[in-house]
C-alpha cells in the first residue's frame, strides 16, 4: 500500500520558527563573535599599515595555493591547449602570490591600483546601466551607487601609490567593524526574543 507523500514543509524541525528558536538558544555565540570582530576591527583601524600588510600576505598565500592547485590540474590534463592554459594561469597565480607574500608593500601597491581600477570599472558600468534605464522606477539608486563607486575608484587612483599603505587595511578594519556590530546586534536581538 502506498503511503501519501508528505510535504517537506511539514517535516518536523524544518520551519523558520524552529530555526529561530535554535538560533535564540545560541545568542551568546553571536554576541561573542561580534565582540571579537569589533576588537579586531578596532585593532586594524589603529594599526592600519599592519592590517594592510596582513591582508596582502593573506591574499598572497591564497594566490600561491591556487597557483599550485592549477599547476597540479594542468599536469593531469592530456590535451595540449588545456595544459598550456592551466600551466600559464597557475604560474601567474603562483608568481603573483609569492611576490605579494614576500614583498607585501609592493603587493599592496599593486592590489590598491587593481582595486581602484575595479571600482572605476564597476562604477562606470552601474552608471551606464542606470543611464540606459533611467526612466524606470527605482533605478535612481543604481545611479547613485554607480556614481559613488566611480568617485571612490577615482579618488583611490588619484592618490596612488601614496595611499597603498592604508587603503586595504582601512577596508579590512571597516569590514571587521561592520560584521562585528551586525553579529553583536543580532545576538542581542535573539537574546531579547528568547526572553519574551
141-168: per-residue pLDDT in tens?
A: 888 888 999 999 999 999 888 888 898 8
Of 157, 130, 160, give the one whose Cα is nearest residue 143.
130
The CA distance from 155 to 170, in Å, is 15
* 10 domain-assigned: no
Do residues 126 and 114 make contact, with C-beta atoms less than 8 angstroms apart?
no
How far is the C-alpha of 150 from the C-alpha of 145, rounded, in Å?
A: 8
Q: How does the average pLDDT of the chain come out, rounded?
A: 85
**24, pLDDT greater than 90:** no
Answer whether residue 181 is part of any domain: yes
172 domain residue, yes or no: yes
What phi and psi, each to the nearest 5 degrees, are found at residue 124?
Answer: -65, -40
Helices 48-76 and 167-195: crossing angle, nearest 10°? 90
Domain hosting residue 125, numbered range: 30-195
Instruction: Report yes or no on 158 lying in a domain.
Output: yes
d(CA 9, CA 156) in angstroms, rounded, equals 49
Per-residue pLDDT of 52-86, as tens digits, reads 999 999 999 999 999 999 898 888 876 777 788 88
User: What is the model's pLDDT at position 41?
Assistant: 93
Q: What's the Cα-to-Cα distance from 17 to each of 26, 29, 187, rounded to whole Å?
A: 15, 19, 17
Number of domains in the chain: 1
- The reply to whether omega before 21 is within 30° of 0 (cis) is no
Q: Please indicate, yes or no, if residue 19 is contained in any of the structural domains.
A: no
Query: What pLDDT, on the 0 to 100 scale, is given for residue 25?
Result: 74
Taking the C-alpha atoms of residue 155 and residue 174, their distance in angstroms, rounded to an integer, is 18
Helix (H) or strand (E) holding 56: helix 48-76
Mean pLDDT of all residues in 92-113:
92
The verdict on residue 151 lying in a domain is yes
Residues 188/25, Cβ–Cβ less than 8 Å = no
Averaged pLDDT for residues 20-43:
86
Query: What percent of the chain stands above pLDDT 90?
Result: 45
Tell me the average pLDDT across 27-44. Answer: 91
Scan for cell 551568546, then name that residue: 28
Q: Give the Cα separation of 174 and 166 in Å (integer).
A: 12
For residue 140, being part of any structural domain is answered with: yes
What confidence score (pLDDT) does residue 85 get?
Answer: 82
Within a domain: 165: yes
**Which grid coordinates are listed for 146?**
554607480
Amino acid at each position: 500500500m502506498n503511503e501519501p507523500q508528505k510535504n517537506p514543509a511539514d517535516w518536523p524541525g524544518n520551519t523558520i520558527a524552529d530555526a529561530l528558536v535554535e538560533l535564540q538558544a545560541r545568542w551568546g555565540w553571536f554576541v561573542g563573535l561580534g565582540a571579537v570582530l569589533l576588537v579586531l576591527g578596532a585593532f586594524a583601524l589603529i594599526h592600519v599599515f599592519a592590517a594592510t600588510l596582513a591582508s596582502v600576505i593573506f591574499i598572497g598565500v591564497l594566490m600561491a595555493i591556487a597557483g599550485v592547485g592549477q599547476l597540479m590540474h594542468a599536469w593531469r590534463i592530456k590535451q595540449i591547449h588545456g595544459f598550456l592554459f592551466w600551466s600559464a594561469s597557475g604560474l601567474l597565480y603562483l608568481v603573483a602570490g609569492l611576490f605579494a607574500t614576500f614583498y607585501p608593500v609592493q603587493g599592496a601597491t599593486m592590489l590598491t591600483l587593481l582595486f581602484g581600477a575595479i571600482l572605476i570599472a564597476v562604477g562606470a558600468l552601474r552608471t551606464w546601466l542606470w543611464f540606459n534605464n533611467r526612466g524606470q522606477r527605482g533605478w535612481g539608486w543604481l545611479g547613485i551607487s554607480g556614481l559613488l563607486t566611480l568617485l571612490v575608484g577615482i579618488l583611490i587612483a588619484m592618490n596612488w601609490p601614496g595611499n597603498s599603505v592604508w587603503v586595504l587595511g582601512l577596508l579590512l578594519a571597516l569590514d571587521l567593524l561592520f560584521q562585528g556590530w551586525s553579529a553583536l546586534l543580532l545576538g542581542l536581538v535573539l537574546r531579547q526574543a528568547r526572553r519574551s
